[in-house]
Structure 1
Amino acid sequence: MSAMGALIGLILSIVLIIRKISPAYSLILGALVGGLIGGFTLSETVTHMIDGVKDITPAILRILTAGILSGVLIKTGAAATISNAIIKKLGKSHVYLALALATFFLTAIGVFIDVAIITVAPIALSIGKKLSIRKGVLLVVMIGGGKCGNIISPNPNTIIAAENFDADLFSVMYANIIPALLGLIFTVYVVARLMPGKGAFVQEEDIEKEQDNLPSFISSMVAPVLTIVLLSLRPLFGYGVDPLIALPVGGIVGVIAMRKGDFLKEGMSYGLARMSVIAILLVGTGTIAGIIKASSMKDVLLGALIQTNLGEVLIAPLSGMLMGAATASSTAGATVASSSFAEIILKAGISGIWGAAMVNAGATVLDHLPHGSFFHATAGVTNVNITNRLKLLPYESAIGFVLAALSVFAYYLFSS
């Protein structure tokens, strides 16, 4: 089918999402309209939509089980303990590094980026009040740290990119470690220090009471450490523990180590609720991905890249960036991009690991746009009004762009 049909369907989905229509339904309707306009019959359109969903079903199953780890870290207070320990250790003299590192580490061990920011925000606002730091700067530092951690985490965006490229999850996570660390440095020592002195300061009413009865730092680290160890067995020793097993096992053992078994049911319910929203969104993204994959859009994009002499390798980060912007979600962006363009990226001679890593990094460039939930969730938790929240977009985009560029550079540096 024609690329124009797929493009119209994608634009329609974006417009509907911006108009506050359910993202899943917006994507499904966009896929249906795109297929019909592109030249498919109704029956063919539905078939390609279903095929697109089938392609990502294994990843959806893994994402649902990953909710156990994320839910346990949040509901037991382990995430709060870890973030508090990092911030306390680095102290007020390194406040930007402490806040960025806290959200970086939480997302890197499997906490959703918005949940990581919600977890760190109370202590960030408390420090900001004492040191007279503006809320906008605090938020950008936390978001930057979260973006850096998100490209090396066992979060849904990484899981689904690895799945669609048939690549080992831990290897995809590991590929972006250097870009993530350099991105963290860029966030703390460039972006945070170049932001203008505008925006509101933290007020007393912005500060919330911190969580009580938190577990110890050592017991809090059991779940993430065990999870990473299990995921690393396949690339290191050739004996694989699938994320479907590794992530929930890490969460369950972590609960036992923290002696908070009563929180397991609550953590599972919380994680399932969070992941169910993602799973439903992924069903919608699967339908539009199926239509894009069946269209000539990927060939048009590849031809445009060849014409500009930018090279085929850029189709990975660019597709992630464009789809991340379209859906205002790194998870949905990584899903559509990896589902639609994995085949052509692999045919260009790029390995599945690096293809997934670059798509994942590209999806972080514009995933914070206002038609997505992340924009509003992060504004709400720090009490930043919409006008001031919009002013932060260029700084977030700069961090995402640096991450994508560094991922491409790492590919050229380490894949040759």
Structure 2
Amino acid sequence: MNAVLIAVIVMLVLSLLRINVVFSLIIGALVGGLTAGLTLPETIEAFTGGLGAGATIALSYGLLGGFAVAISKTGIPDLLVIAILKLVKSKGESNKTGFVKVLVFLLLLLMAVFSQNLIPIHIAFIPLLVPPILKVLNMLRVDRRLIACILAFGLITPYMFLPYGFGAIYQDIVATQIGLSGLEVSLSDIPKAMAFPALGMVFGLISAFVLFRKARNYKQEEIEVSELEVEVKRSSIIFTVISLLAALFVQVNTDSMIAGALAGIVVLYISGTLRRKEADVLLTEGMRMMAFVGFVMITANGFASVINETGHVESLVEASSKLLAGNVSIAVLIMLVIGLVVTMGIGSSFATIPIIAAIFVPLAMELGLSPLATIALIGTAGALGDAGSPASDSTLGPTAGLNVDGQHNHIWDTCVPTFLCYNIPLVLFGWIAIVFVL
């Protein structure tokens, strides 16, 4: 049986059984390597050889987590929470509840979207903004699975469709890899090709509001607005804004989240907004909060290295193509599912594109797909699985923010809901776009 399928299935089953995701990835990689005929030392060598690729990401998230916690201690996020709580507790509470929910949903959605394009900080905003808002969400009895879906939508859809920030990086990878595989395409064609698949994500977001609309109770002591009253100095607000701008400017110009986070922390240090005697504790707290994400990303790179070493991605596609006998509809569906399986395993849409493009593009040309349809095939197959993968930062990020009080499970409250809401519509809308629209 195909080693890639076995490795991913083992990893997913163990994760669903609530085995730690890091252990699930390691065991899945070992099983996959051995199934492909690699010896145990060869499998371990391939796994450890791939770990280094995740170190940069892990350090980036660690520093961003420290930066986020440092900003949260300035009291600025609490001002937002206080304002919302006053709305909830004001007269006419029943009339205000719906408005406050819409306000919170819109705030989180816009921040998630902006984090990919306008302010490319990716998931760094989540540990800064989500934990304080949990107090409000608990009072409103909002199902956190809905929040996970809102955040996942904002983290994934923009890079699929909008050619800015992380979207520019993703679409450049798609165009480059398709070109290297023998089909020259224009970057300007990618948003056109991905428009209909992106509608699948919109459909999934709507379905999330339907599925998770009922109230859900979480443990929390009653919060009084007076308990949260904080005094924030004007200078703290000014220097916090400067630190955010510095982090953004440095990150954009150096293309490094590490440099960006460091720049923001330095501004807080120098300005005195971050007190030196508290700095070590706060930064360590932030890094600890994001450590789980970092470990998973490092391990996922080792998992991906083993999958590449097996060579079974190619054999999986070749075996599928032989069964197709030129049936375009079934061929496209199978390729989309393969993209889903690969991304679910390695946890990165960006890393999936090079793996599948070299195989899918020649097959798409053989099936007679148009250039736009081929772009939609590669772009959609790569994005599939980002929602729902236990190793994806699009699921790890929301969990990091929503589980600060231990009441949000990574697999059942983030991965499963986002998988159901987004991967199924994305397969359907992508398939329709490739076969019928483009």
Q: Distance in 2 between matches of 1:47 and 1:54?
A: 12
Q: 1:239-318 alignment to 2 at 5 Å?
A: 240-254=254-268, 259-262=273-276, 263-300=278-315, 302-303=317-318, 304=320, 307=324, 309=328
1:365 is the counterpart of 2:383: no
Displacement, 1:272?
Answer: 1.7
Identity of aligned residues (%): 17
Q: 1:122-141 alignment to 2 at 5 Å?
A: 122-126=135-139, 128=140, 134-136=141-143, 139-141=144-146
The 3-state SS of whatever aligns with 2:388 is: coil
Matched letter for residue 400 of structure 1: Y
List runs of 5+ in structure 2 lacking aligned partners. Answer: 89-95, 116-120, 160-165, 176-186, 362-370
Residue in structure 1 matched with residue 230 of structure 2 by the alignment: 212
The 3-state SS of whatever aligns with 1:49 is: helix
Contact map agreement 1:140 1:392 (CA 8 A) in 2: yes
Query: After alignment, is 260-269 or 356-365 more displaced?
Result: 356-365
List runs of 5+ in structure 1 lacking aligned partners. Answer: 129-133, 234-239, 327-331
Displacement, 1:106?
Answer: 5.1
Match of 2:150 among 109, 128, 145: 145
Residue in structure 2 matched with residue 17 of structure 1 by the alignment: 15
Q: Distance in 1 between matches of 2:73 and 2:381?
A: 31
Contact map agreement 1:76 1:267 (CA 8 A) in 2: no
1:359/1:83 CA distance change after superposition, 3 Å: farther
Residue in structure 1 matched with residue 134 of structure 2 by the alignment: 121
Displacement, 1:333?
Answer: 1.7
Matched letter for residue 276 of structure 1: A
Displacement, 1:120?
Answer: 1.3
Q: 1:332-347 alignment to 2 at 5 Å?
A: 333-334=347-348, 338-339=350-351, 342-345=354-357
Larger Rg: 2
Deviations along 1:237-263, whole A, 9 cap, x unmatched? xxx352221122124325666823345
Q: Distance in 1 between matches of 2:413 and 2:430?
A: 28
Q: Distance in 1 between matches of 2:233 and 2:359?
A: 49
Match of 1:52 among 38, 47, 50: 50
Contact map agreement 1:78 1:214 (CA 8 A) in 2: yes
Q: TM-score, normalised by structure 2?
A: 0.61
Displacement, 1:26?
Answer: 3.0
Deviations along 1:315-364, whole A, 9 cap, x unmatched? 998667546756xxxxx622xx65465243367679xx999986785344
1:227/1:16 CA distance change after superposition, 3 Å: same
1:382/1:25 CA distance change after superposition, 3 Å: closer
Q: 1:87-126 alignment to 2 at 5 Å?
A: 94-105=99-110, 107=112, 108=115, 109=121, 110-111=123-124, 113=126, 116-126=129-139
Displacement, 1:190?
Answer: 6.5
Query: After alignment, is 92-101 or 299-308 more displaced?
Result: 299-308
Residue in structure 2 matched with residue 131 of structure 1 by the alignment: none
The 3-state SS of whatever aligns with 1:98 is: helix
Residue in structure 2 matched with residue 237 of structure 1 by the alignment: none
Q: 1:228-243 alignment to 2 at 5 Å?
A: 228-233=248-253, 240-243=254-257
Q: 1:58-207 alignment to 2 at 5 Å?
A: 58-81=56-79, 94-105=99-110, 107=112, 108=115, 109=121, 110-111=123-124, 113=126, 116-126=129-139, 128=140, 134-136=141-143, 139-151=144-156, 191-192=208-209, 194-195=210-211, 198-200=214-216, 205=221, 207=223
Contact map agreement 2:68 2:124 (CA 8 A) in 1: yes
1:379/1:290 CA distance change after superposition, 3 Å: closer
Q: Distance in 1 between matches of 2:125 and 2:58?
A: 16
Q: Distance in 2 between matches of 1:279 and 1:184?
A: 27
Displacement, 1:100?
Answer: 1.6
Residue in structure 1 matched with residue 26 of structure 2 by the alignment: 28
Contact map agreement 2:173 2:350 (CA 8 A) in 1: yes
The 3-state SS of whatever aligns with 2:109 is: helix
Q: Distance in 1 between matches of 2:21 and 2:422?
A: 23
Deviations along 1:200-256, whole A, 9 cap, x unmatched? 5689846575473456666544444433333334xxxxxx35222112212432566
1:182/1:26 CA distance change after superposition, 3 Å: closer
Q: Distance in 2 between matches of 1:264 and 1:144?
A: 33
Query: After alignment, is 355-364 or 256-265 more displaced?
Result: 355-364
Q: Distance in 2 between matches of 1:356 and 1:273?
A: 36
Q: 1:315-354 alignment to 2 at 5 Å?
A: 321-322=340-341, 333-334=347-348, 338-339=350-351, 342-345=354-357
Contact map agreement 2:204 2:422 (CA 8 A) in 1: no
Contact map agreement 2:110 2:154 (CA 8 A) in 1: yes
Q: Distance in 2 between matches of 1:65 and 1:214?
A: 24
Contact map agreement 1:321 1:366 (CA 8 A) in 2: no
1:383/1:358 CA distance change after superposition, 3 Å: same
1:400 is the counterpart of 2:422: yes
1:54/1:225 CA distance change after superposition, 3 Å: same
Contact map agreement 1:324 1:363 (CA 8 A) in 2: yes
